Amino acid sequence: MKNLKKYLLLSVISLSIVSCNEDSIPVANNVTLEFNNTFNDTTIIVGDATAADATVNTSTEGQVHHFSELKYVISNIRLIRADGIEIPYNVNNLDEGATVVDQSKPETLQYVLNDIPTANYTQIKFGLGVKTELNTLNQESFPNFYAAAGANDTEMHWEWGTGYRFTKIEGFYGNDNAALSFHSGSTIDDNQGVDAYRDVTLNLTTNAKVGSNSPKITIKVDFDYLLSGATDVVLGADNATPSMHTSNNMIVFVENIKEMFSVENVN
Tell me the pairing of strands 243-244 and 178-184.
Answer: parallel
C-alpha count within 13 angstroms, C-beta hemisphere, residue 110: 10
Residue 138 confidence (pLDDT): 87
Each residue's pLDDT tens digit, 126-150 = 999 999 999 988 899 999 999 999 9
Contacts of 108 (CB under 8 A, 6+ apart): 99, 100, 101, 102
**More confident: 152 or 29:** 29
Please report which confidence band the pLDDT of residue 186 belongs to, taking 50, 70 and 90 as the band edges. Answer: confident
What is the mean predicted confidence (pLDDT) over 176-205? Answer: 85
Each residue's pLDDT tens digit, 78-108 = 999 999 999 999 999 999 999 999 999 999 9
Please report which confidence band the pLDDT of residue 250 belongs to, taking 50, 70 and 90 as the band edges. Answer: confident
**More confident: 58 or 240:** 58
Domain ranges of the chain: 28-266
In this predicted structure, the answer to whether residue 6 has a pLDDT above a threshold of 90 is: no
Average pLDDT, the chain: 88
Please report which confidence band the pLDDT of residue 191 belongs to, taking 50, 70 and 90 as the band edges. Answer: low
Please report which confidence band the pLDDT of residue 18 belongs to, taking 50, 70 and 90 as the band edges. Answer: very low
Which among 222, 226, 221, 224 is positioned nearest to 254, based on CA atoms?
226
Q: Mapping DSSP to helix (H, G, I), strand (E, B) and coil, where does residue 59 land?
A: coil
Q: Mapping DSSP to helix (H, G, I), strand (E, B) and coil, where does residue 194 land?
A: coil
Contact status, residue 257 vs residue 167, Cβ threshold 8 Å: yes
What is the mean predicted confidence (pLDDT) over 226-249? Answer: 70
Write out the E strands in the chain.
28-39, 42-43, 57-58, 64-81, 86-89, 99-102, 110-117, 119-128, 167-173, 178-184, 198-210, 216-222, 243-244, 261-266
State the pTM of this model: 0.88
Distances from the Cα of 123 to the Cαs of 95, 141, 208, in angstroms? 23, 30, 9
**More confident: 185 or 237:** 185
Contacts of 209 (CB under 8 A, 6+ apart): 120, 121, 215
Contact status, residue 154 vs residue 100, Cβ threshold 8 Å: yes
